[in-house]
Amino acid sequence: MTVTCIIPSRLGSSRFPGKPLYKINGKEMILHVVDRARECKNIDEIVVATEDEEIYDVVTNYGCKSVITAACPTCTHRVSDAVKLLDSKPHWIVNLQGDEPVMDPSSVDAMVSHAVTYKTKMLQAIYNIEQSDVDDVDCVKAVINNDNVIWITRTPEPEWIINRHIFGISGLYVYDYDTIANFRSYDLKMVEDCASLDTLGFIGKVPVTPFNIGARTHAVDRPSDIEIVKNEIRC
C-alpha cells in the first residue's frame, strides 16, 4: 500500500496573503509543514501542490517534490488535480493543509493506519471543541451522526450544540485514490454556496468518517496566529 501526502498551498490567501512563504523561526511556513510530513512513518511520498512558482521554487530547493496546478477554487480541488500529476497512482492520499505547521505527525500516522485497516473512503480529522470555539468562525465544525460527518458549518445550530454532536475539524484528511481523484465530478454546489467548505462536496457521495485527534491544532489563518504557533514549532 503506497501513501502520498499532498500539501496544497497558494500565495493568494484573502486573510493572510503570502502566508506559505512567511518565515516562522527563520523558515518559510510551508517548509515547516513539509517537515511535519517528513516525520510521519506511514507516508511514502510528499508533494506540495501549488499554482505559484515562488512556492514551487522554495519547496524544490528544500528537496521536496512539487507540482504546479492551475488556479483552483479550494484546496480540495487542488489536491484532486495534483493526484493526476503524480508519477504513479498511490493507494491512499493524505491531504495536509499548507497552513498546519504544528500538525502532530502521530495524528497523521494514526489516520493512515485507520484508513488502511478499515478501507475507509474518506477520513476527516476532528477534535473536541471548547466553549470558546463555538462562536469562532475560524473554527469550522463537523456535525456527527452515527459515526458519519453529515454537515460542515462555521455557525452551528443551537440544538447541535446542546446535543453535543459537533466537533472542530482540522486541515487533515485521508482518502482512497478514487474518492479524491473524482472530486470534480461530484455536485459541488453546496461547496460554492457555503463559503468553500470543501468536505461538503463529499457528503452524500461517499461516507465521510470522522477521526478524533483530540485537541485543536493551530492552523495559521491570520497574521495574529503566527504568535500562537511559533512557540510550538519544532525547527
- Classify 23 as helix, strand or coil: strand
Output b/e per residue, 26-54; b: 16+ Cβ within 10 A: ebbbbbbbbbbbeebebbebbbbbbbbee
Are 120 and 81 in contact by the 8 Å Cβ rule? The answer is no
CATH code assigned to 3-124+170-186+206-229: 3.90.550.10
Question: Residues 38-61: what's their mean pLDDT?
Answer: 98
Helices (H), the chain: 29-38, 53-61, 75-83, 105-118, 158-162, 177-181, 189-193, 225-229
Q: Which of 80-84, 163-167, 229-233 has the highest mean pLDDT?
A: 80-84
Q: What is the pLDDT of residues 138-168, one digit of tens each?
A: 788 898 988 999 988 887 666 655 555 889 9
pLDDT at 159: 62
Q: Which of 99, 134, 107 is nearest to 42 (CA)?
A: 107
Domain ranges of the chain: 3-124+170-186+206-229
| Residue 39 reports pLDDT greater than 80 | yes
100: which residues sit within 8 A by CB, 6+ positions away?
Answer: 33, 36, 170, 171, 172, 217, 219, 220
What pTM value is reported for the model? 0.94
Q: What's the grid cell of residue 196?
A: 468553500
| Residue 37 reports pLDDT greater than 60 | yes
pLDDT at 41: 98
Q: Which of 127, 75, 94, 96 is nearest to 33 (CA)?
A: 96
Question: Residues 57-80: what's their mean pLDDT?
Answer: 96
pLDDT at 230: 86
How confident is residue 126, by pLDDT bands cut at 50, 70 and 90? Answer: very high
Question: Residues 40-61: what's their mean pLDDT?
Answer: 98
Q: Can you tell me the distance from the alpha carbon of 8 to that of 66, in angstroms, rounded to the nearest whole number? A: 10
pLDDT at 194: 61
Q: Say which residue, 130 or 27, is predicted with more confidence.
A: 27
